[in-house]
Amino acid sequence: MPTLSRDRGLTRADHERIAAELDALRREVTASLGARDAAYIRRLIAVQRGLDAAGRVLLLAGRRRPLWIAGTAALTVAKILENMEIGHNVMHGQWDWMRDPKIHSTTWEWDAVCPSSQWKHSHNVVHHTYTNVLGKDRDVGYTILRVTPEQEWHPAHLAQPLYNVLLALTYEYGIAVYDLDPDAVEAGEKSPEEFDRQVHEIKRKLGRQAAKDYLVFPLLAGRGFVPALLGTLTANVLRNVWAHTIIFCGHFPGDVAVFPEERLADETKGEWYVRQLTGSSNIEGGRLFHILNGNLGYQIEHHLFPDMPSNRLAEIAPRVRALCGKYDLPYNTGRLSRQVASTWAKIIRLSAPPPGAWRARRGK
């Protein structure tokens, strides 16, 4: 059960030592970046584009079932790679050090409905700054799910197991509207003009994605329009479910910590690091599994160093884990099956009203 935390009794000196050790680790990795790392991301992009092209060519002949299955599988993997290991990480600035304008956080537009500029704000700026701070990090339940007992219960939460399934199937669309934040407009924190501009930007991106995947490409298949359309739709849905699963397992298993907003007052760098350590959870698996999940199986390490190239997270993970042991901090990790079970158990359990919830609502 997650609890509001102020770092499990660590002293100011402990926080300073933790910050110093993690800063040193960052400097060590940064100093060693070079040709091997650049080759990794360029090779991965080439593989992803090859899979995308192969998948679409096979789906042009998708009236034959074996070719449809092969084409859909290739396109699914291509979309997963583009969103998870390439797009997400490029837009974090992990490869900006290469100074390659084609692989840069300021120029990359990913294969998803959400405009990259809006995703970078809601994710890079808001989520990674205020990780698991109630009232600041809108990723805590994505404003629709109750994922910690500290969130006020609402009758709508009774249905959250159902609408979490729907969210998984349509995840890219949920992410697309996420940064709109109409509550910010109502509170005067965002202008109506900015809101309208964002809506227009989303409509344009959605139109381009829909035209590419569900009109232009299927039309190229001629009489195979429907199989090509269904293959692309299947690839997008499978990509959505995979991304939803990995992201939820990195943020919502039962043993991650959440924090009150007061925590941010005078928060030191060491305290920020500890908040990332205890507010995230890893997923164990092999190398291919981690490439397919964007190396977000190393969610703890990613939250410590969001702009560190993803191919380096595996090598620093044992040292981060050792640091957690040294300071008696939890290192939340487990196999995918365990993390999925823990996440869904929490979502189902917290959908039910806590004791006195109905009475409290009637009293309002």
Q: What is the pLDDT of residues 260-291, one digit of tens each?
A: 999 999 999 999 999 999 999 999 999 999 99
pLDDT at position 9 is: 80
Q: What is the pLDDT of residues 48-102, one digit of tens each?
A: 999 999 999 999 999 999 999 999 999 999 999 999 999 999 999 999 999 999 9
Residue 4: band (very low, low, confident or very high) from pLDDT cuts 50, 70, 90 = very low
pLDDT of 5 over the 50 cut: no
Q: What is the pLDDT of residues 14-34, one digit of tens each?
A: 999 999 999 999 999 999 999
Q: What is the pLDDT of residues 154-174, one digit of tens each?
A: 999 999 999 999 999 999 999
pLDDT at position 281 is: 96
As a whole number, mean pLDDT of residues 336-359 equals 91
pTM of the model: 0.94
pLDDT at position 282 is: 97
| 15-29, 176-190, 303-317: range with lowest mean pLDDT | 176-190
pLDDT at position 254 is: 82
Residue with tokens 């005067």: 188
Q: What is the pLDDT of residues 45-63, one digit of tens each?
A: 999 999 999 999 999 999 9
pLDDT at position 360 is: 66
pLDDT at position 255 is: 83
Residue with tokens 């002949």: 61
| Contact between 314 and 94 (Cβ < 8 Å) | no
Residue 356: band (very low, low, confident or very high) from pLDDT cuts 50, 70, 90 = confident
Tokens linked to 134: 């109630």
- Which of 239, 245, 236 has its CA nearest to residue 336? 245
pLDDT at position 93 is: 98
As a whole number, mean pLDDT of residues 237-245 equals 98
Tokens linked to 115: 């405009």
Q: What is the pLDDT of residues 195-216, one digit of tens each?
A: 999 999 999 999 999 999 999 9
Percent of the chain clearing pLDDT 90 (strictly above): 89
As a whole number, mean pLDDT of residues 101-114 equals 97
pLDDT at position 2 is: 45
pLDDT at position 3 is: 45
pLDDT of 226 over the 70 cut: yes
